Amino acid sequence: MTRRIASTLAQTGRPHGSGITAVNPPLVRASTFVFDKLEDFEIASKTPFDVPFYGRVGTPTTFAFEEAMAELEGAHRAIATSSGVSAISAVLLAFLQQGDHLLVVDTVYEPVRRFCSRMLTRMGVETTFYDPAIGAGIADLIRPETKLIYLESPGSGTFDVQDIPAIVAAAKAAGIHTAIDNTWATPLLYRPLEHGVDVSIHAATKYIVGHSDAMLGVISTNAACYDAVRRASQDLGACAGIEECNLGLRGLRTLQVRLERHAATALMLAEWLAAQPQIARVLHPALPSCPGHEHWKRDFDGAAGLFSVELTARDPQAKRAFIDALEMFKIGFSWGGYESLVLPMNPAARELPRWQELGSVVRLQVGLEDPQDLLEDLQHALAKLRG
């Protein structure tokens, strides 16, 4: 029987045997598994990702979370890692070596830019940052030594949505791989592998865990890329903690209902903010004014609860006054939890010159508080800018 998404979230990654079975998979903490027979040890060592073999490779708790994510993403398999950055690092190192060329969207998550400029540069890998609006034009940037195109859609901070099918088509024509950071959308709003992307990455710390209490990453791949990515993640030792995998499974059970609330409140606030004189621009993929909105409307199944606003006042002190006046929105780096957060952004630090046009940009993570309370908090903060 084909299951709809809500049923899949409730059922996947759970053992269903005969007799009495716990609702949740048992939390198995282990660094070492022992075997009575050498033959059993040898069999397990040849298939370490199917049966418990060594704690760094995973326990049944790890495998349950990976199984659930693979099913949600429509992937061959999934790989749990210690954080979103560790997942990203494993993917990049799986496909790149000295002399290779990498294409990365210019709106990428800042730690990716640092990894490219520090680690990959030392390795002899050259990175070109491309415009998120490039679409099929990315074919002009592909070289013989290009091995990977890295996407993030919507992009960090400015939420530009890429024409992913056009970029994937260009990559396939050139015989190179594609990978995407899909954290904003989750598998509920976008499933990259169904659109031809080879590897999908999540900072599961965010919406998947959903409670701001665990660091967790996960990589979902097609069959062709799985072995290379699994080897890279193991070589890095970037294994996910067992408690964290358990919290990831817990988060999946309520992901849909949480995401619906995040999205509804965020869109209401975004539309209200767009009409305020203190706001020059609202960067939310569901609004027609957001760059790439037409791609979001075509490819995505909805919007999440994270977006940015550009203040009319370009004075940095205005941004400081706005943020400091907020009470419900606390200042914090992450997002995807139940609490609302605010963070100043600096798009001008990117490579392409067009980001210099933006003034003071503030990112809002819309949590699960009462929508009217969040609206009143924003009203109060914007009032500080009227003078």
For the stretch 296-333, pLDDT in tens is: 999 999 999 999 999 999 888 999 999 999 999 999 99
Query: Which residue reads 């490779």 in tokens?
Result: 57
pLDDT value at residue 19: 62
Task: Indicate which residue of 100, 106, 160, 181 is catalytic.
Answer: 181
Task: Indicate which residue of 106, 109, 299, 363 is catalytic.
Answer: 109
Question: Catalytic site residue 109?
Answer: yes
Question: Catalytic site residue 324?
Answer: no
Give, as one character, the DSSP assignment of residue 257: H
Q: Is the pLDDT of residue 248 over 70?
A: yes
Which CA distances in Å does 100 have to 60, 125, 145, 257, 375?
A: 37, 5, 5, 43, 49
0.85 exceeded by the pTM? Answer: yes
pLDDT average, residue stretch 119-138:
97
HEC sequence for 122-163: HHCCEEEEECCCCHHHHHHHCCCCEEEEEEECCCCCCCCCCC
Question: Catalytic site residue 297?
Answer: no
pLDDT average, residue stretch 246-258:
97
Name the band, by pLDDT with cuts 50, 70 and 90, for residue 17: low
Task: Indicate which residue of 77, 147, 191, 206 is catalytic.
Answer: 206
Question: Catalytic site residue 46?
Answer: no
In this structure, the number of other CB atoms found within 10 A of the CB of residue 302 comes to: 17
Query: Which residue reads 């600096």 in tokens?
Result: 346
Distance CA 169, CA 176 (A): 10
Q: Indicate the average pLDDT of the chain.
A: 93
Which residues, in sequence order, are CB contacts of 187 under 8 Å at separation 6+?
69, 72, 73, 200
